[in-house]
Amino acid sequence: MNDLDVLKVFCAADGRHGNALGVVRDGRRHPDAASRQALAAELGYSETVFVDDPERGVVDIWTPGVRMSFAGHPLVGLAWLLDVELLNPPVGEVWARDDGEFTWITARPEWVEGKRTQQFATVDEVEALPSPPPGEGWLYAWAWEDEAAGRVRARGFPRRPDGVIVEDEATGSAALLLTAQLNRALNITQGRGSQILTAPGPDGTVEIGGRVRFAPVEP
């Protein structure tokens, strides 16, 4: 596809890791829900985003199995790619900013649906979890790596019926939820080594930030 960009969102400092994101720059090529769902399933990324109005930041987010009203890593990736200050996913207005190395969005924890966080005693316990762990529902497993410094080790398991994504490499919405629960800024290492930064705001919002890079499109 000529209008498909593939990004890696929440990369490590050396540019590695990050969660893959498919971006269809011209949403008119896939005008209905059925065609968008089919393409998202075909690509197999955690999320694929369709840009319906690049100037106003109107976007539509799909996983391989469902449509999302809000998702963190797609919106951070789009803010970087489109270089806009405002995005309009189905949930509403999402403000964005760029500080050079990191791209940030501001979002509300109540926008996060269907995810549960679970604290483990040690990083080793998080590392030892099978992929996926037993049980149902979206699980964000985490442990303090350095509580005083706000450093967290996390892994994300969608545990959806379709089973396409067994483990999510970097999950902005779950990081947002955890930040709101702990009410403090966090430096999260998720998956194989992706980095997510967060900071709670005074009005109940949370900023989520990370590095974004282009990824090669596989033939």
Q: What does the alpha-carbon distance between residue 136 and residue 164 come to, in Å, rounded to a whole number?
A: 15
Domain containing residue 115: CATH number: 3.10.310.10
Retrieve residue 142's tokens. 């985490």
Same domain, 89 and 16: yes
Pairing of the two strands 194-200 and 206-214: antiparallel
7, 26, 167 from 30: Cα distances, Å: 20, 8, 27
Between 217 and 198, the higher pLDDT residue:
198
Same domain, 53 and 128: no
Q: Which domain holds residue 168?
A: 111-210
Q: Looking at the 3D structure of the chain, how many domains does it have?
A: 2
Residues 6+ apart with CB under 8 A from 48: 21, 22, 23, 24, 36, 39, 40, 61, 62, 63
Same domain, 27 and 95: yes
Would residue 217 count as lying in a domain?
A: no
Same domain, 47 and 120: no
Q: What is the pLDDT of residue 141?
A: 98
Q: What does the alpha-carbon distance between residue 175 and residue 188 come to, in Å, rounded to a whole number?
A: 8
Residues 133-184: pLDDT tens digits? 999 999 999 999 999 999 999 999 999 888 889 999 999 999 999 999 999 9
Among the residue ranges 16-20, 61-65, 159-163, the one predicted with the least confidence is 159-163
Between 65 and 151, the higher pLDDT residue:
151
Same domain, 90 and 156: no
Can you tell me which residue has the tokens 């065609």?
35
Q: What is the pLDDT of residue 59?
A: 97
User: 50, 73, 100 — which closes off a domain?
Assistant: 100
User: What mean pLDDT is predicted for residues 86-94?
Assistant: 97
User: 66, 100, 134 — which closes off a domain?
Assistant: 100
Would residue 177 count as lying in a domain?
A: yes
Same domain, 96 and 184: no
Q: What is the pLDDT of residue 35?
A: 96
Same domain, 92 and 178: no
Would residue 141 count as lying in a domain?
A: yes
Residues 6+ apart with CB under 8 A from 100: none
SS3 content of the chain, % helix, strand, coil (to 5): 20, 40, 40
User: 67, 100, 133 — which closes off a domain?
Assistant: 100
Same domain, 136 and 73: no
pLDDT averaged over the chain? 95
Helices (H), the chain: 33-43, 72-82, 123-127, 172-182
Predicted TM-score (pTM) of the model is: 0.95
User: What mean pLDDT is predicted for residues 96-118?
Assistant: 96
Would residue 130 count as lying in a domain?
A: yes
Same domain, 84 and 136: no
Retrieve residue 149's tokens. 């410094």
